[in-house]
Structure 1
Amino acid sequence: MKKKSVELVKRYRFFGIMIAVTLVILAVRPAMGVQVYSLAISSVLEMLGVLPPIFILIGLLDVWVKKETMVKYMGKDSGIIGVLLGFFLGAAAAGPLYGAFPVAGVFLNKGSRLANVFIIVGAWASMKIPLLLFEVAAMGWQFTLIRLVMDVIGVLVIAYSMEKILNDDDERQIYELARKMSQ
């Protein structure tokens, strides 16, 4: 029991420190403290509006897509299909970047290649389709195309570099952590 409480304190120590700091700010500069807390509440409410639909979609993905299918299209031997599917899934995704991580966990649990999961997260962060359309209207086709090509190259370099840098034990730990988080 004592070990669990020590783990809990370690896990949430940053959160506790931040609460203490913001309480000090609230005591010393009340107007700024109120602003800090109102911003925090606003952010939490925004997350609560985004995360439930993402979790519902993740649950459906987990139930509807068989592991064998995921391995075939996103696994180690998926080749260019896995890369293209990763870019499409990331670019077509809705919601902020923090929504990509639970999705990445489901893909890891289903046997997706690590590089393909990195591609999904990278595409989610940098090349969403609605934002590309807005960028074309604001900045023009030439700028958007150059940025998109650079993003594709950057995401590929980062995804494959990360996969190469990680040794087998690191990769095993990532898959194991994703499995534990899904339970």
Structure 2
Amino acid sequence: MKLLNLIKTYRYFLLIILFDVVIAFFHPGTGYTIFKYTAGNFAEMLSILPPIFLLLGLLDVWVPRETIIRYLGEGSGLKGIVLSIILGAAAAGPLYGAFPVAAVMAKKGTKYSNIIIFLCSWSTLKIPMFLFEMSALGIKFALTRWLVNIPGILAIAYIIDRLIGAENKAEFYRRQMANP
């Protein structure tokens, strides 16, 4: 039973490894290249996720739930939106690092739309990317992209928040609370 649960938990990872092995069997050169990229991506993930989980552990212990609810929860209003944008834009690392952070935010009582805003900001409004765009493409381009993306992010968050519905949101929060 434990083996089946372990296989179910890691089924996608195991499928990728199986896929790599099958390709390597039929096309050794291509299989080797694919396996090399798979291993490189896995190593990159292992170098990024531990610091994120360490910071999440500290966030979980140091920041009280009441503080998160006050600044990012249901009644947070504009300050919750602005804070979600700032947290997402200031974050470092690839997008897959945002999802554990979003899970902790949900556990702490962050409003659903603020989680969506945080995730969208992480993916599009990164400050290092903004600085690179300013130097490579000019301040006008960088500011225009930000000014176009922010309303887009807010629209996406609003639409998703309305489409998901209260029952699905409640299930989302139940699942987050159930995970240790």
TM bucket normalised to smaller:
over 0.9
Work out whether residues 126 and 151 of structure 1, in 8 Å CA contact, stay in contact via their aligned partners in 2: yes
Which ranges of structure 1 fall in alignment gaps of 5 or more residues? none
1:40 corresponds to 2:41: no
How far has the Cα of 1:18 moved from its partner? 2.9
Q: Name the structure 2 match of 1:137.
A: 135
CA contact (8 A) 1:74 1:82 kept: yes
Tell me the equivalent position of 1:102.
100
| 1:34-76 per-position Cα deviation (integer Å, ceiling 9, x unaligned) | 1111111111111111111111111111111111111100000
Aligned residue in 2 for 1:66: 64
More moved, 142-151 vs 83-92: 142-151
What's the CA shift for 1:117?
A: 0.8
The number of equivalent residue pairs is 180
What is the TM-score with the length of structure 1 in the denominator?
0.92
Cα distance between partner residues in 2 of 1:63 and 1:10: 30
SS at 2:117 equivalent: helix
Gaps of 5+ in 2: none
- 1:83-124 CA-partner distances (Å, limit 9, x unpaired): 010000000001111010000011100111001111111100
CA apart distance, 1:29: 1.1
1:82 aligns with 2:69: no
Q: 1:90 to 1:173 in 2, by over 3 A?
A: same
Equivalent residue number for residue 167 of structure 1? 165
**SS of the residue aligned with 1:43?**
helix
Aligned CA RMSD, in angstroms, stands at: 1.5
Alignment match of 2:20 (pick from 7, 22, 30) = 22
Judged with a 3 Å threshold, the aligned counterparts in structure 2 of structure 1 residues 28 and 11 are, in CA distance, closer, same or farther, namely same
Q: Which whole-Å CA distance do the structure 1 matches of 2:64 and 2:30 have between them?
A: 51
